[in-house]
């Protein structure tokens, strides 16, 4: 194969990669924009001064033998939610985050992103607040659409697959758009 034919073939491949790269960029621009902004916010959440994620408080003791039973702490968190936030909010828990090294338990509610931090020993309320980072995380991974549409994780799965494959294709085509011209120049010499 002659050098001219090889360069024409490389140029054709380069044009095809550029076309794929451009089409994906145009098609997925909004999604990449949302993922990048939400990713930056998630990266900053612990340094946001309680704006995105409440600071983890410190309790009385990290010795679990001194702690109240988990059921008592859970009931206390539910009572605090109803008395201090709203009686109308769901008490369904998303998770219980035990931080024994800090002496606290975080109760994170599923349907409204409120979190309550209690001292593990005394049950004293250390913090009540919105966990905005959870909302941002749900936007970032697409699970907010599942919650809105009631699709039980399927939208998140499809969204994650599409965005992951798109990022892989962007990486491959972007590399080739950088390397291809260098290779063509090298072959020309």
pLDDT at residue 182 is higher than 80? no
pLDDT of residue 61: 94
Average pLDDT over residues 139-167: 90
Q: What Rg, from alpha-carbon coordinates, does the chain have?
A: 25
pLDDT of residue 100: 92
Average pLDDT of the chain, as a whole number: 90
pLDDT at residue 126 is higher than 80? yes
pLDDT one-digit tens code per residue, 42-81:
999 999 888 999 999 999 999 999 999 999 999 999 999 9
Contact yes or no for 60/104 (Cβ under 8 A): no
Average pLDDT over residues 104-112: 93
Give the pLDDT band of residue 189 (cuts 50, 70, 90).
low
For 185, the token pair is 């120049």
Contact yes or no for 24/177 (Cβ under 8 A): no
Q: What is the pTM of this model?
A: 0.76
CB-CB neighbours of 99 under 10 Å: 16
The share of the chain scoring above pLDDT 70, in percent, equals 98
Query: What DSSP element (H or E) covers 29?
Result: helix 3-44
Distance CA 11, CA 16 (A): 9
Average pLDDT over residues 118-138: 94
pLDDT one-digit tens code per residue, 109-122:
988 889 999 999 99
């Amino acid at each position: 194969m002659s050098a001219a034919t090889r360069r024409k073939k490389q140029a054709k491949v380069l044009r095809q990669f550029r076309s794929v790269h451009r089409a994906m960029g145009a098609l997925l621009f909004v999604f990449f924009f949302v993922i990048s902004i939400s990713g930056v916010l998630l990266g900053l959440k612990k340094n946001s001064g309680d704006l995105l994620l409440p600071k983890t408080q410190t309790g009385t003791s990290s010795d679990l033998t001194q702690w109240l039973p988990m059921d008592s702490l859970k009931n206390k968190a539910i009572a605090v939610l109803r008395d201090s936030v709203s009686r109308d909010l769901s008490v369904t828990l998303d998770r219980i985050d035990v931080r024994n090294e800090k002496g606290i338990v975080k109760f994170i509610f599923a349907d409204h992103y409120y979190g309550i931090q209690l001292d593990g020993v005394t049950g004293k309320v250390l913090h009540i607040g919105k966990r905005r980072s959870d909302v941002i995380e749900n936007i970032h991974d697409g699970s907010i659409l599942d919650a809105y549409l009631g699709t039980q994780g399927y939208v998140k799965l499809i969204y994650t697959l599409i965005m992951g494959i798109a990022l892989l294709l962007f990486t491959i085509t972007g590399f080739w758009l950088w390397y291809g011209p260098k290779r063509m120049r090298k072959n020309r010499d």
